[in-house]
């Protein structure tokens, strides 16, 4: 590549970076930590049960409309005497949509999670007398959208939701096998992120 070509590439990257910087004023720092309240659905028997919990994540935002978050999640779901607790780790790539605002930024996001469920379920749903404790691993993937609201130079509010397809492996206890069929549910969150680092 010639010197002129190198200069052209550097200039293009600088212009793109400046545009991204203006479009993503809510992500002025390269790193951020976020804590959120979480709502999610989980199937108990044939019913989808909403539950609540929390989510925490670390996010890297380069000078780009893209960013990547990694985090942990927990939610608890109950239906009568039956319950399922979900814990897991997730990846969340995100694409911010430039609407020309330095206060608001809608975004599109994907989600890939590796989960573990710990459940207390009736041995026989037709005769709900004996409760058994089981656990198994699973996964979830999906996509959604959200809105970032700039609170200050380093603090932002994040509100988002995603539809996810998830399933867990079969689990056994005292000769009874529980099957967890794949189903599509939701994950919604509202939280605060704090940026750190400098560019």
Q: Which residues does 134 contact at the CB level (< 8 Å), separation at least 6? A: 118, 119, 121, 171, 172, 173, 178
Enter the pTM of the model: 0.81
Least confident of 93-97, 156-160, 194-198: 194-198
pLDDT for 19 beyond 50: no
108, 67 Cβ separation under 8 angstroms: no
| Cα distance between residue 49 and residue 118, in whole Å | 15
What is the 8-class DSSP label of residue 103?
S
Domain coordinates in residue numbering, the chain:
3-196
Average pLDDT for residues 53-79, to the nearest whole number?
95
Q: What is the number of helices (H) and of strands (E) in the chain?
A: 1, 10
CATH number of 3-196: 2.40.160.20
* b/e code 16-34 from CB counts within 10 Å (16+ = b): eeeebeebbbbbbbbebeb
| Cα distance between residue 181 and residue 169, in whole Å | 8
75, 185 Cβ separation under 8 angstroms: no
For residue range 133-185, what is the model confidence (pLDDT) as tens digits?
A: 999 999 999 999 999 999 998 999 999 999 999 999 998 888 888 888 899 99
Helix (H) or strand (E) holding 95, with range, is strand 82-96
For residue range 105-132, what is the model confidence (pLDDT) as tens digits?
A: 999 999 999 999 999 999 887 788 899 9
Place of tokens 């479009």: 23
Q: How confident is the model at residue 18 (pLDDT cuts 50, 70, 90)?
A: very low
């Amino acid at each position: 590549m010639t010197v002129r070509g190198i200069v052209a590439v550097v200039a293009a990257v600088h212009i793109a970076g400046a545009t991204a910087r203006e479009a993503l004023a809510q992500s002025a720092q390269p790193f951020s930590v976020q804590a959120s309240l979480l709502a999610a659905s989980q199937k108990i028997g044939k019913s989808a049960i909403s539950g609540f919990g929390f989510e925490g994540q670390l996010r890297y935002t380069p000078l780009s409309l893209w960013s990547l978050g990694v985090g942990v999640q927990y939610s608890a779901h109950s239906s009568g005497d039956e319950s399922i607790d979900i814990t897991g780790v997730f990846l969340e790539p995100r694409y911010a949509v430039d609407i020309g605002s330095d206060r608001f930024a809608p975004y599109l996001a994907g989600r890939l999670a590796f989960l573990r469920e710990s459940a207390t379920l009736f041995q026989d749903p037709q005769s709900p007398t004996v409760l058994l404790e089981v656990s198994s691993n699973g996964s979830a993937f999906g996509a959604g959208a959200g809105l970032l609201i700039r609170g200050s130079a380093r603090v932002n509010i994040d509100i988002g939701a995603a539809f996810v397809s998830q399933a867990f492996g079969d689990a056994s206890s005292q000769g009874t096998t529980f099957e967890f069929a794949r189903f599509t549910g939701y994950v919604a969150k509202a939280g605060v992120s704090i940026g750190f680092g400098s560019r």
